Amino acid sequence: KNEVEQSPQNLTAQEGEFITINCSYSVGISALHWLQQHPGGGIVSLFMLSSGKKKHGRLIATINIQEKHSSLHITASHPRDSAVYICAVRFGNDMRFGAGTRLTVKP
Amino acid sequence: GAGVSQSPSNKVTEKGKDVELRCDPISGHTALYWYRQSLGQGLEFLIYFQGNSAPDKSGLPSDRFSAERTGGSVSTLTIQRTQQEDSAVYLCASSFQGQGIDTQYFGPGTRLTVL
C-alpha cells in the first residue's frame, strides 16, 4: 500500500468550477507539499504545509494532521490549471509521492 | 534570478554504458534532491544532500547509482552500466533549508533513454 494516496486519479471540470483534490497519508510527517506538473513536464511547488491552511491566488491548501489528510482547492478553475497535481510528504529521511491527479479544465 | 538548471536536457545511451547527469541548484540553497519519474509512473526519491553532511542515499535503486555534490553546489548523478529500466526523467530540486520542510524548486529534468 502506498503511503500517500491521492483522489481522484483523473478529474475533468468545466471552466469556473470549484475543484478539490484529496491526499491521505498513513504515517507521521513533518511537512506536506503540493506540486503542479504541466504537460511539458516542468514541476512547480505550489504549497508546503505543516499545519492549517495556505492560500495563493485561486489556490487553497489545507491539512489536518490528526486525520492525516490534505486537500488542494482551486476556485474559479481555468483551462490553464490543467496539469497533474502531486501530493508529497516528508517520510522518514525521504520524500514519498502520491500518484498524482490529472486535472483537465475545459473551456 | 536563475532557477535550477540541469544538463543535458536529453540523453540517449546504449545499454551498459555509463551516464552522468548534472544539476546546478539555485545559489545559496543548502539542500539538493534527485528524483526520477519513469514513463507513466509517479515521482520517486533518489538521494538528498544537505549542506556538507553525508547524503541520504536511501532512495537509490541499486549500487549502479551514485551521486556527489562538489563544494555544496553542483551535483552529478552517475548511473553505471545503464539498463533499459533506467529510462526515465531525472529531476533535481533545491531548497534553502532542506529536510523536506521548505519549498523545493525543480529543474527542467534530464530525459534519459537507454536503448
pLDDT digits (tens, 9 = 90+) for A55-93: 999 999 999 999 999 999 999 999 999 999 999 998 766
Contact B48 A93 (CB under 8 A): yes
Contact A88 B43 (CB under 8 A): yes
Does the pLDDT of residue A29 top 90, yes or no? Answer: no
Facing A86 at nearest CB: one of B43, B105, B109 = B43
Distances (CA, A) of A35 to A101, B82, B91, B103: 10, 29, 13, 10
Contacts of A17 (CB under 8 A, 6+ apart): A77, A105
Q: What value does the mean pLDDT take over residues A42-51?
A: 90
pLDDT on residue B40: 77
**How many Cα atoms are found within 13 Å in the side-chain-facing hemisphere of B35?**
24
Burial of B105 (0-12, 13-18, 19+ CB in 10 A): middle
Q: What value does the mean pLDDT take over residues A7-30?
A: 93
High-pLDDT (> 70) share of chain A, %:
97
High-pLDDT (> 90) share of chain A, %:
75
What's B56's DSSP letter? B
Contact A90 B105 (CB under 8 A): no
Say which residue, B101 or A101, is predicted with more confidence.
Answer: A101
Cis status, amide bond into B8, omega within 30 of 0: yes
Please list every residue in chain A whose beta carbon sits closer than 8 Å to the beta carbon of residue B43.
86, 88, 95, 97
**How many Cα atoms are found within 13 Å in the side-chain-facing hemisphere of A13?**
25
Does the pLDDT of residue A26 top 80, yes or no? Answer: yes
Say which residue, A50 or B109, is predicted with more confidence.
Answer: B109
pLDDT on residue A15: 97
Interface of A with B in 49-68 (CB under 8 A): 50
Q: Residue A31: pLDDT band by 50, 70, 90 thresholds? A: confident
Does the pLDDT of residue A37 top 60, yes or no? Answer: yes
Q: How many Å lie between the alpha carbon of A50 and the closest alpha carbon of chain B? A: 8
Does the pLDDT of residue B72 top 60, yes or no? Answer: yes
High-pLDDT (> 90) share of chain B, %:
66
Contacts of A40 (CB under 8 A, 6+ apart): none
Q: What is the mean pLDDT of chain A?
A: 92
